[in-house]
Each structure stands twice: as structure tokens, then as C-alpha cells.
Structure 1
Amino acid sequence: MCKSIELRITNQELRFMREDKINKIEAHVAGICFDGDNVLCLKRSPERKIYPNLWECGGGAVWPGENFEEAVLRELRDESGIIAECLGVSGVYEILTPDLEQKKIPGLKMTCRFLGYEGGTNEPKLSSEHVEWKWVSVDKLDGIDFIPGVADDIRAAYEIYRKM
């Protein structure tokens, strides 16, 4: 289980925040899921607006009422049918969105351990967001057409995973 950070906000601080009308923001998670020395890689659909046809590890938006761990586990399950456990945060990232009011979407990179496939199957069940999947050995990431920076993110997460 990921370590949680507990924030204690007083009623007066909460009232101030509401009266100040602080805008809601979108936040994301990325799940880097390992099974031994292999990492789950998903190829984005050609219909995706951002980074079509490039490889990633999965992830997406945090929904209202979710914490980061719940969001990353849901995203892995929804996108690939993977059941995993969250081991911890391996980094932060941001998605630049200059055409939107929120110019940057912040995100957390989460290191995860593969536990199985939903429904007891023997392979991932992809959502419409992805068209292909594969388990890739961490020492064979070069040559895969990843979203920029993802291969380095995998290597960094693997160092955390190896120590668990």
C-alpha cells in the first residue's frame, strides 16, 4: 500500500477556501506495473489526441473521491484488466495543455506490482484507449516508440521496485 499523506485542514481554513472560490483542477496518475523484470507496455490508439500510436504504461485522471493509489489501480484495471498493488510514488510529471484554461495537468508516477488479470484470464483486456500490449524486459526498452521520457520513467521506477 502506498504511504498516504494526511492533511489536517481546520473548518476556518476550509471555509476560506470555499469563499475564495478556488477552482477545481484535473490531476493524473501513471501506473508503471512490473512483473519480475518485465514492465507492462500499452500502445495508445491512433484516435488519441495526445501521443497517438506511442507506447506508455497506462494511467489517467483522478476521479472525485479517489486518492492517487485508488486512481492508478482503477486506471490499470480499466485500461488493461490488470490487477496490481501500488508500491509507491516514483516521480511527478505534468501534461502541458496550452489550449485549455488549466495550462498544466499535474501527475504522479506510481510504481506497481502485477498480481493478476481481472476475471482470471491469462492476458490483458484492452480498453478502446489502447490497441496493443506487451510485457517488456526492462533491459530491452530501447527501440520502443514510447511517449518522450517514459523509458527513463520505467528505469527509475524499476529501481524502486527492485528494492521492495
Structure 2
Amino acid sequence: MEVWDLFDENRRPLGKQAGRREPIVKGEFHIVVVVCVINEQNEILLTLRSPDKEKYPGTWENTGGALEAGEESRTAAVRELFEETGIRVRENELHLLDSQMEESAFIDVYVVRKSVPVEKIRLQEGETVDARWVSLDEFCRLGEEEKIAPPIYRRFCRLKGKLDVFIREESRKERYPACRGEKRQESKKMIIIGCSGSGKSTLAKKLGRIMDLPVVYLDALSWDAGWKRKPFAEFDRLTEAEIRKPEWIVDGNFPRTVEHRMDVCDTIVYLDFPRWFCILSVLKRVLTGYGKPRPSMNEGCPEKFDPGFLKRIWNFDQRSKAHYYGYMKKLSGTKLIVLKTRKEVNRFVKQAEKEGRFIPGNYPK
């Protein structure tokens, strides 16, 4: 019998499991993956549910299924796609389109570019009975005619904008190179730390685009309009919900909880810039963007001159640097990347464009 791991509303493991046909208690969730396959003609692959299926028999759907106990999200997506269609892909070929909470499950929606003749699609006995490629317009028409399983069509309507963006960005076709047999660690959960003014948010945005990883700005989670700081409990809840997702880049320090983020990430990028450089960068930012919110901030939090902020930058090395280095040395199995100049950052970005998520570390443990 298929067994699922259970999680709470923040995607934290509960240490409990449930069988496929067992009822799930309110407040408990399992994880489901959905894979949207798109060919070179920008058509979507659909499979027809068996007429013997208990739910939505005889309707069209995308590939998908629940994670088995102990399974990772991307691993499950690769498995489900092969089991239901015979299509083989690598984990790093999958692009996470979105992760949503729906009823008693978290739904991780992946998209992958793959062109396979429909006659070569291998259907799963007892699950699917037909397959076809359809255009986006035809997908919508089938959905309006209720020929697509309702949850699939509702999800498509919510994510259509993100799917359109993916299709337009042709450079994503071959975003990540193969690992070429090297046992290099793939980065899926990355944190970027360092003194304010070192360029963390700018780097996070670039890496998010290059590596197809969603970016979380801790400043945006921490501040409401008018520079009103959220209560610690609310900030912690919002942060925890983000880092329980299967992949991300988190930008920001927040020393009170940074050790926890170091523990759960697979990659740390530390921008170790001189404090004079950081202060000049912040002053330049204030002069050029005064009265307007930064891209990594919420509306209602305009750029301003803050002497106390500059003082914290000046004292950063004394208060935080030794702590960060000391804790990084204690970590096991985490990729560590330390960058100390703009030239090093630019080289790192170029390397990421070439290596994708297999970018190597440069700091010895």
C-alpha cells in the first residue's frame, strides 16, 4: 500500500505517515507533484484518466502523484512522469513553476521541455488510456467543456501567467548542463548572507533567474508599510513556511534565526566585503533611490537615510563575521561559497550561467 509522510501547515514533518486510503486529519498535509510537459511547439501533454478511476474518470490531466514516504519532491516528479508516460528526464531538467497549499496537500508544480511523439508515450495500465498534445488555447477549451479534471484546470488557470513566462524564455530549454558524471552537489536551497550594502539582493535576483530558483527576500517578510516591523512570531512563521518548500534562494541575515537557515540549506553564499565598500554602496543607493522602495522591499518602505543603519554596517564585522565563519565550519555536507570582491562575484555569476545548480563551493570546511 502506498504510504505518505505527513506535514503541518508550514510543511514541517510531523513524524507521522498515512496510507493512501486513510483519512487525513485536518491540519495535516501530504505532498503531491504535478509535471507539465511542453514540447517545442509549445503544446502541453495530456493523458486520459481510465474510465475505471474513482475520481474524475475519463477526463484529461497532467502527470502527477503523491510523494512516497521518504521521497524528495523532484525525485517523485521524475518517477511519476516515467511511470505514467515512459518519458525519462533528469531532476535538474525540471523547473518548479509553483508550490501551493490545496486542501490536505502541498502541490509542487513542475514544468519540463520535452518533445516526444505521441505514439511513443507509454501509458500506465489501470491509470491512463490515451495521450495527446494540445495547444494552450485547446487546453482552455477542453477545460471550459469540463473535459479536463477540474482540479487540473483550476490549477492551470491560476498558473497560466507563470507558464506563459516559462514558454517565452527560450533560454530555459537547456538551462542546466548535465553533471557529466562528476559527483557534484546540486544547489536547491541557498542562502545569501553578508553585510548590508554588499549586494545580496542583487546577487539573489541574478541567481534566481540563472538557476530557476524562487527568491525570498527576508526584508520583505519582516517589514510592513511605513517601516513597521512585523512581530517576531509572525516573521518566523512566514520564514518557516518559505524554507519548508523544496527549493529557494533566501536573501538576508537576521542573526536571530540565521543558524536555523544554515542548518536547512544546502548552499551558503557569504559576501565578505569591506565595511567601507558596504557603506558607500548604501549611500549611493540612498542618493539614487531616495523615497522609492527597493525591488526587494514592500511598497510603503521607501529608501531613506538612517544613521543607525550605517552604524550597524560599521559594526558588522565585530558583531557577526566571526559568528558566521565559526558556524559555517561546523556544518557538514553544505556547499560554502565566500566572495570578497565585485570581480569574484562577477566570475561566480558567469560560472553559475555555465554550471547551473552544480556550481562548486570555494571555501574549505
TM-score by length of 2: 0.33
Alignment: residue pair count:
136
Identify the match of residue 89 of structure 1 among 73, 92, 96: 96
Contact 2:38–2:115 (CA under 8 A) maintained in structure 1: no
| Structure 2: distance between partners of 1:64 and 1:45 | 26
Identify the match of residue 77 of structure 1 among 82, 94, 98: 82
30-39 or 44-53, which deviates more = 44-53
Contact 2:34–2:63 (CA under 8 A) maintained in structure 1: yes
| Structure 1: distance between partners of 2:67 and 2:57 | 21
Cα drift, residue 123 of structure 1:
1.4
Q: Deviations over 1:71-107 (max 9, x none)?
A: 11110110011123533211234554xxxxxxx1222
Structure 2 matches for 1:11-50, cutoff 5 A? 22-24=15-17, 26-36=30-40, 37-50=42-55
Question: Which amino acid in 1 is paired with 2:141?
Answer: G
Structure with the largest fraction of strand: 1
72-81 or 47-56, which deviates more = 47-56
Cα drift, residue 135 of structure 1:
0.9
| Structure 2: distance between partners of 1:106 and 1:44 | 22
Structure 2 matches for 1:1-164, cutoff 5 A? 22-24=15-17, 26-36=30-40, 37-85=42-90, 86-94=93-101, 96=103, 104-114=104-114, 116=116, 123-127=120-124, 128-144=126-142, 145-148=147-150, 149-152=154-157, 155=160, 156-163=162-169, 164=172
Contact 1:32–1:39 (CA under 8 A) maintained in structure 2: yes
Contact 1:27–1:61 (CA under 8 A) maintained in structure 2: yes
Structure with the largest fraction of helix: 2
Contact 2:39–2:116 (CA under 8 A) maintained in structure 1: no
Question: Which amino acid in 1 is paired with 2:168?
Answer: R
Q: Deviations over 1:51-88 (max 9, x none)?
A: 22111111101123321111111101100111235332
Q: Tell me what 1:101 maps to.
A: none
State the SS of the aligned residue for 1:90.
strand
Alpha carbons of structure 1 residues 154 and 124: separation in structure 2 relative to 1, 3 Å: farther
129-138 or 149-158, which deviates more = 149-158
Cα drift, residue 125 of structure 1:
0.7
Question: Which amino acid in 2 is paired with 1:125?
Answer: R
Instruction: Could you tell me which runs of 5 or more consecutive residues in structure 1 were left unpaired when the two chains were aligned.
Output: 1-16, 97-103
Alpha carbons of structure 1 residues 154 and 129: separation in structure 2 relative to 1, 3 Å: farther
Q: Which has the bigger relative contact order, CA under 8 A and spacing at least 6? A: 1
Alpha carbons of structure 1 residues 134 and 150: separation in structure 2 relative to 1, 3 Å: farther
Instruction: Could you tell me which runs of 5 or more consecutive residues in structure 2 were left unpaired when the two chains were aligned.
Output: 1-11, 18-28, 173-365
63-72 or 33-42, which deviates more = 63-72
| Structure 1: distance between partners of 2:138 and 2:129 | 21
Alpha carbons of structure 1 residues 62 and 158: separation in structure 2 relative to 1, 3 Å: farther
Alpha carbons of structure 1 residues 71 and 146: separation in structure 2 relative to 1, 3 Å: same
Q: Look at both structures and tell me which one has the larger radius of gyration over its CA atoms.
A: 2
State the SS of the aligned residue for 2:120.
coil
Alpha carbons of structure 1 residues 22 and 84: separation in structure 2 relative to 1, 3 Å: closer
| Structure 1: distance between partners of 2:134 and 2:110 | 18
Q: Percent identity?
A: 24
